[in-house]
Amino acid sequence: MNKRGSEWLLENVIFILLNLIFFSIMAYFIISNINSASVMQEEYAKSIALALDSAHPGMNFTIKMADAIKAAEKNLGKEHMDQMVTINGNQVTVKLIDKGGYTYSFFNNLNMSKPTSNYYLDEKNNDYVFFVGGYNEPKSN
Is residue 6 close enough to count as binding other proteins by CB under 8 A?
A: no
Written as one letter, the residue type at 95 is: K
Q: Which stretch binds other proteins (CB under 8 A): 13-21, 64-72, 112-120, 121-129?
A: 13-21
CB contact at 8 A, 69 and 126: yes
Supply the angle between the helices 37-54 and 66-75 in degrees, to the nearest 10.
130
Which residue in 102, 119, 128, 130 binds other proteins (CB under 8 A)?
102
Query: Could you tell me the CA-to-CA distances from 68 to 4, 14, 53, 92 in Å, in that order?
Result: 55, 39, 22, 15
Residues forming the site for other proteins (CB under 8 A): 11, 15, 18-19, 22-23, 25-26, 29-30, 33-34, 36, 38-39, 42-43, 46, 49-50, 53-54, 83, 86, 88-91, 93, 95, 99-105, 107-110, 135-136, 138-141
